[in-house]
Amino acid sequence: MTQNPSSNPPELRPDLAPQLQVQETPRAGQPTLGMVSLGCPKALVDSERILTRLRAEGYGISPDYTGADAVIVNTCGFLDSAKAESLDAIGEALKENGKVIVTGCLGAEPDYIREHHPRILAVTGPHQYEQVLDAVHAAVPPDPNPFVDLLPATGVQLTPRHFSYLKISEGCNHRCKFCIIPDMRGRLVSRPAHAVLREAEKLVTAGVRELLVISQDTSAYGMDRKHDLNPWKGDEVRSHITDLTRELGRLGNPKDLWIRLHYVYPYPFVRELIPLMADPDTAVLPYLDIPFQHSHPDMLKRMARPAAGAKTLDEIAAWRATCPDITLRSTFIVGYPGETEAEFQHLLDWMDEAKLDRVGCFKYENVDGARSNALPDHVAEEVKQDRWERFMQKAQAISEAKLEAKVGQTMDVIIDDIDEDGIATCRTKADAPEIDGNLFIDEGTDGLKVGEIVTVEVDEAGEYDLWGKLG
């Protein structure tokens, strides 16, 4: 059996969206825009909305700079390394194309961007769609053809056709000391429940097989709306994550549709979601992406995390008692200012008990504007690296043991890709795109199609990936 190397190595940043995919060819003479989308899935959704508006005005879309009349760079400002990546992308776009419009999180710092790249045409902040459109109109006037430029019902989609991100809110009300997202994206603003459900229904009707629910804080959905009631299919639904998830799970047969929850903060009422995940008649996957960040209570207080007092191990045990098949994914920060060796060891011991299925890990770094920059006792870079390596070694061992236990099991997988050698790259219900592992099928794939959900028997396991054969 051919062991493909995982496309998700442990050093992968766990905040990245899949690579942008544009699945159309501009018509001759059509004004065309290139798009570079950096950062997280929430930014990718912003890119989709911008391009949907532009596509409706008659613009063609190019996946790169080739033949484009201008380029939009949707930036990330989450970490200083992400800022550097954004500046590099802007520089490359200026070099290759010359006409560049900048938007996204780093756009909240226009002077910083112009200091490095004074030739850019315009800068707008995150989710400032109208300002982006104004900048595009000024740089490349629209020239729509009403007989040709028809917008598909689902808008422009930048992910593969079989899965889509569903953004349910913007912003965040937390003030975690290491994070500047609230400063860039503002406070929590939830979409009405019926608007989310209507968008989800359209996507499912258009053939999307997996909806990935995202926001800055999915658990807080609807709090800003005081969990108001919204009309839906002759009844009413609350703007509350439990009610929204229940309704999403009813949009399709679980054999044909997957609903996956991301960025769920560990509030106590999260336990209300778990019975939905355990219900075999709902499309909600038994998968919970929950950013713990650390385990030691003193560390969580220094981070100003909202769940500093939660007894997370007790909660995890309760979730697993209700839904034994649940997959738990989380992200952690090592080397945060003030982190002692004892506190880091507490995290390793906690991992031994929690045995999370999937983890990502950041080495702490200062971000301009973050309150954590001013904390005392910053950790030396070599110590951060050592702790990151020890943490990932622990996580890898846990992952390897968990995957080995799946050998011999039969499970459903969704097909993401079939290469020229006939090897199918798939994901199980335990695997989100880009950030988790894969399952590979390297025999008998004739007749399979990307986006299908098929049944396989697992016959081999690696550190992060599985191999299987069609059942």
In whole angstroms, what is the distance from residue 254 CA to residue 84 CA?
42
* Mean of pLDDT values over 241-252: 96
Q: Is residue 40 part of an annotated ligand binding site? A: yes
β-strand pairing of 410-418 with 453-461: antiparallel
Residue 310: the pLDDT is 56
CA distance 257 to 354: 29
Query: Is 361 assigned a ligand-binding role in the annotation?
Result: no
Query: Residue 5 pLDDT more than 50?
Result: no
| pLDDT tens track for 271-291 | 999 999 999 999 999 999 998
User: What's the predicted TM-score (pTM) here?
Assistant: 0.74
Report whether 179 belongs to an annotated binding site. Answer: yes
Cβ atoms of residues 162 and 209 within 8 Å: yes
Phi and psi torsions of 244, nearest 5°: -60, -45
Is 426 flagged in the annotation as binding? no
> What mean pLDDT is predicted for residues 11-21?
51
Sheet holding 122-123, edge to edge: 60-62, 32-37, 70-75, 100-104, 122-123
pLDDT tens digits for range 124-152: 988 677 788 889 888 998 765 544 334 34
Work out the pLDDT band at 2, boundaries 50, 70, 90.
very low
Per the CB < 8 A criterion, the answer to whether 45 and 148 are in contact is no
Alpha carbon distance 17, 37 (integer Å): 9
- Vertex 178, ends 176 and 183: CA angle to 5°? 70
pLDDT tens profile 93-105:
999 999 999 998 8
